Amino acid sequence: TQPLSKIKKLSGTHLHRSWVSVPHVTQFDEADITGLEKFRKSLANEAEKNGVKLTPLVFIMKAVVSALKAYPAFNASLDSSGENLILKKYFHLGVAVDTPNGLMVPVVRDVDQKGIYELSAEVAEIAQRAREGKLAPKELQGGCFSISSLGGIGGTQFTPIVNSPEVAILGVARAKMQPVYQSNGSFEAGLILPLALSYDHRVIDGAQGARFTHFLSQSIADIRR
Ligand code: CAO
């Protein structure tokens, strides 16, 4: 018999409550990140000079903020009566971190106001402290929307559980080289990123879910956006 860690007990209660009380739907999509990867790699030296390592995650965080601005119902929570939606005017994103004691979701605040280097440094720092068990309770609170990125590990897709009272969560799986059909009838190699958006169907309709992931996919695919 092995007792669960304190973190697993706490997160387990929260995950179970969300699982049984939120009617979940997961919308799958994908983004062609060939251009984004080229851009990310071109910044590697500059990033190193800034003392950070750039991963696709920070670009995804910025794209999520654009999508939340375009679809404000996703940047919201249901109040305790379940009858009112509280719309947020700020963009605080929870980022799931895998720690030796279990899952933690620290919150990166004001993602809209931060650049990619600042975000990279903050995610690395907060993930490090999460792994060392050094996060303050307030750093786990106040998120508007969460991202669970398992892309660094592997897997083709997964269905994340909404971090209620938030109404949606984005799961990111591992990008893979695939043939991409071109309008001239040929195929070219492209790096394709799988996305999975789980949402609370009491708040978000299926069409909205598909519009959100489509918008997100387009934003990630075209780095100029
Ligand atoms: N596709 C392909 N490669 C990816 C990728 C993706 N979607 N996302 C990251 N990578 C690559 C990175 O570029 C990096 O490659 P290099 O080492 O060659 O540069 C490598 O994978 C490792 O990345 P990382 O995981 O260290 O960094 P990150 O910024 O992607 O993620 C963090 C940071 C904290 C989110 C991550 O470390 C983590 O803990 N993920 C687990 C989240 C989790 O447990 N979710 C489940 C919750 S439900 O139980």
Model pLDDT for residues 120-178, shown as the tens digit of each residue = 999 999 999 999 999 999 999 999 999 999 999 999 999 999 999 999 999 999 999 99
**Residue type (1 letter), 44:** A
Ligand 1 atom closest to 53 (CA): 19
Long-range contacts of 84-88 (CB under 8 A, 24+ apart): 85/167, 85/203, 88/144
Check if 175 has its Cβ closer than 6 Å to any atom of ligand 1. yes
| Whether 201 is catalytic | yes
Q: Where are the alpha helices (DSSP H) in the chain?
A: 6-21, 34-42, 44-49, 56-70, 116-131, 206-221
- Sorted by sequence, the CB contacts under 8 Å of residue 211 that are 6+ apart come out as 71
Check if 57 has its Cβ closer than 6 Å to any atom of ligand 1. yes
Pocket test for ligand 1, best of 8, 55, 195 (most atoms within 8 A of CB): 55
Check if 127 has its Cβ closer than 6 Å to any atom of ligand 1. yes
**Residue type (1 letter), 219:** S
Q: What is the pLDDT of residues 53-71, one digit of tens each?
A: 999 999 999 999 999 999 9
Q: What count of residues does the chain have?
A: 225
- Sorted by sequence, the CB contacts under 8 Å of residue 1 that are 6+ apart come out as none
Q: What is the pLDDT of residues 178-202, one digit of tens each?
A: 999 999 999 999 999 999 999 999 9
Using left for φ > 0, alpha for ψ between -120 and 50, and beta otherwise, residue 202 falls in alpha
- Sorted by sequence, the CB contacts under 8 Å of residue 132 that are 6+ apart come out as none
Check if 55 has its Cβ closer than 6 Å to any atom of ligand 1. yes
Ligand 1 centroid distance, CA of 149 (Å): 6
What's this model's pTM, rounded to 2 decimal places? 0.96
Average pLDDT over residues 107-125: 97
Output the 3-class SS for 195-208: EEEEEECCCCCHHH
Q: Is 26 helix (H, G, I), strand (E, B) or coil?
A: strand
Nearest CA-CA partner of 221 in 112, 66, 70, 113: 66
Check if 118 has its Cβ closer than 6 Å to any atom of ligand 1. no
Quote the pLDDT of residue 224: 79
Checking if the pLDDT of 80 tops 90, the result is no
Give the pLDDT band (50/70/90) at residue 27: very high
From residue 13, how far is each of 8, 16, 26, 50, 163 by CA, in Å? 8, 5, 21, 40, 12
Ligand 1 centroid distance, CA of 83 (Å): 36
Pocket test for ligand 1, best of 45, 48, 57, 195 (most atoms within 8 A of CB): 57
Ligand 1 centroid distance, CA of 185 (Å): 34
